Structure formats: structure tokens, C-alpha cells
Amino acid sequence: MSLAHYPISFLATPALLIFALWLDRLLGEPGRWHPLVGFGNLASALEKRLNRPHAPRLARLLGLLAWLVLLLPAWVLAFWLTQLTYGWLLDVVLLYFAIGARSLKEHALRIYHALAQQDLPAARQAVGMIVSRDTAELDERGIAAAGVESVLENGNDAIFGAIFWFVLLGGSGALLFRLANTLDAMWGYRSPRFLYFGWAAARLDDLLNLIPARLTALSYALCGHVRSGFSCWRQQARLWYSPNAGPVMAAGAGALQVTLGGKARYHGQDKVRPTLGTGPAASAASLHAAVRMVDRSIVLWCLVIFIAYALIGAYYA
């Protein structure tokens, strides 16, 4: 629900945001019944039918077409339904499905507790649930670093990006962002299979994430070690391979005062990534600190949104 929905009650948007966050905290993700599971299956089937990895131009065109076919009807339907009398209920439900704060926290703490108990096999298994890199040979530092990086990046993808688009476009905006992010996660690889077909999904996700990622980086810097967070963001963000993950990861690593990046193995191939942050290598304590920083950032976002809408309401009163 956007500002235009409720010209009288300017606090409706913050109230619905807090309601959706409360639902996520109470219920968590609905597991295999999550609508994204069905959406992912549909996207996978469509990709198998349309992808032409050996025809670059055609693959790019078909990838864009697949993105439009999967997202536009869902967004238009959601936008129309949220205009109805009780559309605010759907706004809450859509935002609840779009965010995954509790799930992210639970996964991160599962890794943390395994590391705290020095149970490396359990820690590798837990971190493998939220990262795409190979985890079989990771040591304690590698597991902790992978976990921290995932918490920082998914804080934007699974929480703050959805909140940003909810404030702008209501529940349909949160839905659009999460579906686009899901397609990027499925198709946005620079592998022979997805290099061309996933091009549109990756670029459009970058576009939708352009502002949210920088607001997430700002909130990390403000909710951690401020000077280090801003310094690493300014100096290191451009070094990262992703234009949006760079600010998020650099600011987050600096705010936590840990070193992230470096060598990682993906699908059997070693990849040397830029070094981000400052200070010692990540540890189990760093992972716990990252979770707390994301929690503080959620509170900060809610406060800023509440104050902004209250001021707008007072101005128009």
C-alpha cells in the first residue's frame, strides 16, 4: 500500500510494515508451501523450454521475454487487488511473503551455534543452505566469512529491498522486487548456460536494487562502527564484482570491523575476490554481530519510515 491509498491516515504504511514484520517474526517462512517455491518451479520449467545458450542474441531476447511473462501479470494482478476495499490485508500478506528476516536469522544462528560447539561438519552443512560456494573443505574462518557475507547481502535482498519497494508501491512493489530477486538468484549466473538468458534478470535486479542497496549500506554503517563502515564503503565498494552487493558488503564488513572476500570455490573452480572490510578474519562472534546489526537496521528503518510519514501527515493536517 502506498501513500496515495490512505490520504487521511498517514501512519497506515508504517503500521502495516510493522504488522508484516511481526507476522514474519511469529510465523517465519511457510516452508515448502511458500509461493516462491511454486514460482521457482514455474521459472525453471520456462527456462528449460526457452533457453538457447548457443544463440546469444536470441537467448537474451527470450530471457527478457521470460522475465516479463513471469513478473508482469503477477504484479498487475497484485496491484489491482490491493486497490480494493480490503486491499490493505493483501498488502500485509504480500510483504510477509516477500521478507525473510526470521529465516535469515535462524540460518545464521544455526551456523553460529555449530561453530561455537566446534562442530565443523554441522557448520558446513548449515552454511551450505544459504550460500552457493563449495563448503566441503571450508575451515572455521571460511565458514564464518561465508555466513557473514550471506547475512549482509541477504539482509538487503530478503528484508530491506522489499521494505523499500513496499513503501513506494505497496504490497505489489514488494512482490515485484522479491520475484525479480528470485529470478536473478536462479538465472543471474555468468555460466555458459545463463550468461545470455539470465542477462535481463541480472540487469533488471540491479536496477531495482540500485537505491535499496545503498540505503542498506547506509543503515549498516550507522548501526555498526560508523567511521569504519563509511570508510570501507567509500574505498572498497567499487572493487566488488556486483554494483549493488559492493556497497552492502563493504559497508557491512567495515561496520563489523572484519575482513571478508578473498578466495572462495564455486562449482569446483577457485575464485579470488576483492578483500573487503578491515580488521581480523570473520569468526563465530562476527556472525552473531552481523545478525544483531541487521536487527538494529530493521529497527532503524521502521523508525525512519514512521517519522517520515508522521511528518508528512502533520504537514498536510
Q: What is the C-alpha separation between 217 and 246, in angstroms, rounded? A: 9
Helices and strands, number each (H, E), in the chain:
13, 2
pLDDT at 29: 80
Question: Do 223 and 255 contact (CB within 8 A), yes or no?
Answer: yes
| Three-class secondary structure of residue 166 per DSSP | helix
pLDDT at 173: 97
pLDDT at 9: 61
Q: What is the C-alpha separation between 87 and 78, in angstroms, rounded? A: 9
pLDDT at 4: 45
Residue 20 sits at φ, ψ, to 5 deg, of -65, -40
Residues of the chain with pLDDT under 50: 1-8
